[in-house]
Structure 1
């Protein structure tokens, strides 16, 4: 963590290897995502056999943190995904924190706007 970057919990992602094909599908990521209906922001991720994502993302749960400066937050880190804009005005990079994937997010969207766009499959992550 960097002292000049603010970090705020955003969500937790859990990869599953149960063969189900439920949720919003991203062909680019080879990934299905389902939001947990509970009170806390948990996402379940399932991957196709040919998903191009880093093996850590497909096998190890990740925490996602909202940051005020994504470029600064990833400076000097091992970036395993991104930075990119999977949903309009939602910038993401994933770093390898000693074997644990950590998703870092910079956005001006409210959680309702962001999760609504994700559930509807809006954004470049979902476009062909």
Structure 2
């Protein structure tokens, strides 16, 4: 199963409501703070992130089996767990970054089924 989750837009400008994720060297505004599910990402200069993710907006999908979704794909960022209860990876599709999220905690606050419609 694949379900649209959010759009992530890289920026070089500070945005209201940013959270600093020191380990990732990333300032982020959660998609949960946006009426339209936009996640803003501002990377520190030395963040270990592929240039494609720094420059190009990505679409994110919630998936039920991250490992099977990655099979045969061009992996840009291998599976990792930026927070408890979620596994994330980036792939490349026709030159664009795509984020895949697998929630291992059914009550994770970023999981779409835990959110209200707007």
How does the TM-score come out when normalised to structure 2?
A: 0.81
Unaligned runs of 5+ in 2: 112-118
Structure 2: distance between partners of 1:109 and 1:58:
29
Paired position in structure 2 for 1:11: 6
Structure 2: distance between partners of 1:86 and 1:38:
20
- SS of equivalent to 1:56: helix
2:80 to 77, 84, 92: 84
- Quick check: 1:90–1:109 contact (8 Å CA) kept in 2? no
Q: CA 1:85–1:24 in structure 2 vs 1: closer, same or farther (change >3 Å)? A: same
Q: CA deviation at 1:32?
A: 0.3
1:46 to 5, 24, 42: 42
Instruction: Show structure 1 runs of 4+ deviating over 2 A.
Output: 35-40, 108-111
Q: How many residues align?
A: 108
Q: CA deviation at 1:87?
A: 1.0
Unaligned runs of 5+ in 1: 1-5, 116-128
Paired position in structure 2 for 1:109: 106
Q: CA deviation at 1:98?
A: 2.2
